[in-house]
Structure 1
Amino acid sequence: MQQTTTETRQDALADPAFPTNTAKDEGGQQMLLNEIASFFLVTGSPLFLAFYQIAYQDFDASLEFAARSLMEEGPVLFFAERTPRPTASTIAVYLGYVGWQAMLYNFLPGPLHAAPRTVGGRRILYRLNGLAAWASTILVAAACSYLSLSDPTYIANNWGPLLATANVYSMALITISWLKARISPDLESETFLTGYFWYDLFNGGELHPRSGRLFDWKHFNASRTGGILTWSLIDLSFAALQYEKHGKLTASMALTVAFRLTITIEYFWYENWFFETLDGSYERFSFYSIYGFAAMMPHLWTLQTQYLALHPVELSTGQCLGLSMMFLAGWYMRHIVDHQKSSTRAANGDNKIWGETAKVLRVQYRTSDGKVHHSLLLCSGFWGWARHANYLGSSIYTWASCLACGTGHFFPYAEAVLMTIMVVHRCFRDEDRCRAKYACAWDEYCQAVKWRIVPFVF
């Protein structure tokens, strides 16, 4: 596993510009718009998840029938009567799972990794033990199922109450992080607050809140109790439910489980790459990060296996091969894109990509402590095709996973639609912050690499 050890930053996208905006830097009108948008995102996201779960549990995964019922009954009655609640069982299981993951995160051995420099000029250490934590969790779950100590379909059969429990947990963590950022932040220079309540709740707060030397709450939430590791348990449980309900495991279910397992294992194998992404390096530990990983990703990023447990889809050999090739093409592109960036960073630009010396643009930036640092913007390989080449690969393999569910319902396609919207939105956010960080050097880079995501299209 490659590790970043140099003091120099090299990135074309994954280290977005450090935030330079404060309430004083932005106009009052823009901040008001941010406040309004944040209000709707904070209040609307739980309702969106509740609607999706209600459609699944009460309307056989039909969004159309659920929407009709919502219009007929009215939102108050619709959500009040149908939204799932936590149970004593799911609360105990969920808190036990969080405690188990915290123990693994804190005590499993692994190499130390120095993450890219923060806005305050720090390089924070992380222990890379995610793959060991994932393997330990899967082995324990498999052993418990084999020994009849637990029901492999428990997650699937208690899906609504578990989601409700995850929502309560997320809201509690959001409240604690919001208060801590105002009362006792770890580092004030890296704490982003504007004075606008909803905007700060959604996107403000601390950058890397920690308990002790190595327990990083943002990384723990994103990779352990949040979406990444939990995906495997959820998918395997719904696969078990399909077998229990229909007496078989379809090729479409096997493909979707295998696709997400591939993404999960790769993530933990190259866990250090997370700290070079927008989520790992820039996003605050706020509603966006906490609720996004702990509530939305476990729910929406596993819609395919949820759907297939209710509606088995039979795929021909040709369809399986076609979808597998589509997934592998997207996954391979994303992997190579990340590897090109990481290897260029490790070699300080003295490496080859596709048989030629890597082309880089050497730039400077300043952190909040006043120090000037050097950086590289990669212009070779896939990064010579597009400034955000990593987004294209992830979009392709996401659509492949959704297409395995057929076209009978829109239900399993929410992940792909949200992913497409998200990468376009992130593209423009990245560009704004990189321009603020690198100034005219970013414009020079845009001249060298003209396309954002898809060459000759966008």
Structure 2
Amino acid sequence: MPAKVASFRRTPPNPKPEYEFLGPPGAVGMLTVLPLITYGLYFNCRAEFGCPPLNWTKGDGYWPALDTNFANYPRDLLGFFLSTWDREAFDLYSYFMVFLFVCYFVIPGHVVEGAVVGGVGGSPLTKDRSNYKLKYKVNALRTLMLIGVLAVATLMTKGVEPFLFLHSHFVGLITASLVWTFGLSIFVYIWSFLPDENGQEKILACGGNTGNMIYDFVLGRELNPRFSASPNSTFDIKYFIELRPGLIGWVILNFGMACQQWHNLGRITNSMVAVLAFETFYVVDSLWNESSVLTTMDITTDGFGFMLANGLLTWLPMNYSLQARFLAAFPVDMSVAHTMIVIATQCVGYYIFRNANLQKDTFRRYGADAPQNKGLKYMETASGSKLLISGWWGTARHINYFGDWLMALAWSLPCGLSSPIPYFYPIYFAVLLIHREFRDEEKCHKKYGKDWDKYCEIVRWRIIPYIY
């Protein structure tokens, strides 16, 4: 028997985890409901029909080829999907993905080491499953800067016309992103069953190797699908998708919506300026702190499957640009008081979010005895880990979530109160953060045991001090 095959077979088996997200039924729901929500936010918020539509009669064109008869659902769902196919939009989305891929390798960037990953299956090099770290190239912000230069050059030479495509072909871009989502999800699922280049079993995620094909496909079997692009370069698919297509695509779509408003009105409203400024700042800040994502659950714990692929390729850019798309169709001129409320909400949210995360990262990076952490109180667990019980993290166990949500609210407030649809994001985001908080709590309780109970007695509040 070849040595590589023998090594692969000797790798200890991966344990079977417990189901999350309602198990296989929840996974089926994600496959069907999440894409329909994205389409729904488009078809139910357009200038032609209103936001939401005033006329819900079938056949008016806002939900093409989709029957309300449940018996015909599978057939009509396929017909609906095909009716949204747009070859030009698919080509543009594909060019965008290829461009980002090339930029990842061509644009210089420093290499950083990530946190210990929480997978199971064995390190390809050492078989040490308790201290497995990976290295990543950081250059996403430089990629966005290059795209910004190209966008400004296009605007100066050709005006807004090239960018109007993003608005007029928006539904086609949704479909294109879903084609990429399903295609990439199928690829990484099959890829996860193949031995790595050393003939060993891949590092699998704790939550995506149950043996149920649909559930594992959605949650993701492999923790960090990656391959060697060259002798000195490794391409990590999940890390690449985590920040680049979604966040950068979000900024590009917002810019396209602003160009559409300029085309319609001959000017840009102050509400559109606020949405673009706040959301672009959020993206730039995220890419500036790109290495911080390496300590998140997405990278260290969750596998890469349909759930993350859809969230990053489709859900984020298509749904998070809803406010800018709404304002392109339904302009809002904010009063001075309205403007001040929006700015105050954004600033308070960012102050909490950034300073809380900075305090945590600084404490983890430099330790409790570092000068910058002087005065911070902490408790030491039996595992040797230190948990902050003062500063931001002494007020609530997930105080950064509160700041993040306040910013989400600030991005919807410029749309006014004429429609509830632009507020989909802060409503959805609140549900997401509470669910993530429950996952974090469960993970920490398993990790720290009774020490976590003691910590919760000291830091009583979960997200919002004195409220929740």
The within-5 A match list for 1:201-212 is 201-212=217-228
1:290 — aligned with what?
309
Cα distance in 2 for residues equivalent to 1:254 and 1:58: 20
- Within a 5 Å distance, the mapping from 1:286-435 to structure 2 comes to 286-351=305-370, 357-363=375-381, 365=383, 374-435=384-445
Q: 1:218 aligns to what?
A: 238
| CA distance in structure 2 between the partners assigned to 1:200 and 1:58 by the alignment | 40
Counterpart position of 1:232: 251
- CA deviations 1:269-305 (Å, max 9, x no partner) are 1111111122232221111110111011111111000
Q: Secondary structure at the match of 1:456?
A: coil
| Counterparts of residues 29-428 of structure 1 (less than 5 Å) | 33-57=22-46, 60-63=49-52, 65=54, 69=58, 74=68, 76=73, 85-119=84-118, 120=129, 121-148=131-158, 151-184=162-195, 187-191=201-205, 192-212=208-228, 213-225=233-245, 227-351=246-370, 357-363=375-381, 365=383, 374-428=384-438
1:39 to 1:364, Cα distance in 2 relative to 1, 3 A: farther
- The code of the aligned residue for 2:95 comes to G
Which residue of 1 is the match for residue 9 of structure 2?
A: none
Native 8 Å contact 1:113 1:127 kept in 2: yes
- TM-score, normalised with respect to structure 2: 0.84
1:439 matched to 2:442? The reply is no
Distance 2:460 2:213 in 1: 38
The DSSP-based 3-state class of the residue aligned with 1:312 is coil
Find the aligned partners of 2:137 and 2:78 in 1 and give their Cα distance: 43
Deviation at 1:362, TM superposition (A): 2.6
Note the C-alpha offset of 1:64: 5.2
Q: Tell me the distance in 2 between the aligned counterparts of 1:107 and 1:334.
A: 32
Which has the greater radius of gyration? 2
Q: For the residues of structure 1 that align with 2:67 and 2:85, how far apart are their CA atoms?
A: 24
Q: Indicate how the Cα distance of structure 1 residues 424 and 444 shifts in structure 2: closer, same or farther if over 3 A, else same.
A: same
- Counterpart secondary structure, 1:451: coil
After superposition, give the CA deviation of every residue in 1:313-354 in whole Å (9 maximum; x if it has no partner): 11012211221111011011100011001111121122467x
Q: Distance in 1 between matches of 2:268 and 2:436?
A: 37
Determine helix, strand or coil for the equivalent of 1:350: coil
Is the contact between residue 379 and residue 388 of structure 2 (CA under 8 Å) also seen in structure 1? yes
Cα deviations across residues 165-219 of structure 1 (Å, max 9, x unaligned)?
A: 1111111001111111123468534344101222212213111111224321112
CA contact (8 A) 1:52 1:63 kept: no
* Contact 2:24–2:214, Cα closer than 8 Å, also in 1: yes
Deviates more, 1:335-344 or 1:193-202: 193-202
In structure 2, list runs of 5 or more residues that go unmatched: 1-13, 119-128
Residues in 2 aligned to 1:41 and 1:457: alpha-carbon distance in whole angstroms: 31
Is contact 1:155–1:237 with CA below 8 Å preserved after alignment?
A: yes
Q: In the aligned structure 2, how far is the partner of 1:85 from the partner of 1:73?
A: 15
Moved more, 135-144 or 258-267: 135-144
C-alpha distance in structure 2 between counterparts of 1:32 and 1:351, whole Å: 40
CA–CA distance in structure 2, aligned partners of residues 388 and 455 of structure 1: 10
What's the secondary structure of 1:248's corresponding residue?
Answer: coil
CA contact (8 A) 1:59 1:65 kept: no
* Contact persistence 2:174–2:314 (CA under 8 A): yes
**Any idea what SS the aligned residue of 2:465 has?**
coil
Counterpart CA distance in 1 for 2:201 and 2:48 is 48
- 1:380 maps to amino acid: S
Q: How many percent of aligned residue pairs carry the same amino acid?
A: 24
Change in 2 beyond 3 A, CA 1:66/1:209: farther
1: distance between equivalents of 2:248 and 2:307? 19
Query: How far is the alpha carbon of 1:113 from its aligned partner?
Result: 1.1
- C-alpha RMSD of the superposition: 2.5
- 2:356, 2:399 within 8 Å by CA — same for their partners in 1? yes
Decide which moves more: 113-122 or 416-425.
113-122
The answer (yes or no) to whether the contact 1:218–1:285 under 8 Å persists in 2 is: yes
- The 3-state SS of whatever aligns with 2:385 is strand
Q: Deviations over 1:419-441 (max 9, x none)?
A: 00000111111100111122222
What is the match of residue 11 of structure 1?
none
CA deviations 1:9-61 (Å, max 9, x no partner) are: xxxxxxxxxxxx953x54xxx67941111111222111221222222358535
> Residue 8 of structure 1 corresponds to which residue in structure 2?
none
Structure 1 residues 364 and 257: CA distance shift in structure 2, 3 A: farther
TM-aligned CA deviation for residue 139 of structure 1: 0.9
**Structure 2 CA distance, aligned partners of 1:311 and 1:50?**
19
Distance 1:60 1:142, change over 3 A: farther
- Residues 353-393 of structure 1 show CA distances to partners (whole Å, capped at 9, x for unaligned) of 7x85221223365xxxxxxxx43222221100111111000
Could you tell me whether the CA contact under 8 Å between 1:85 and 1:165 is conserved in 2? no
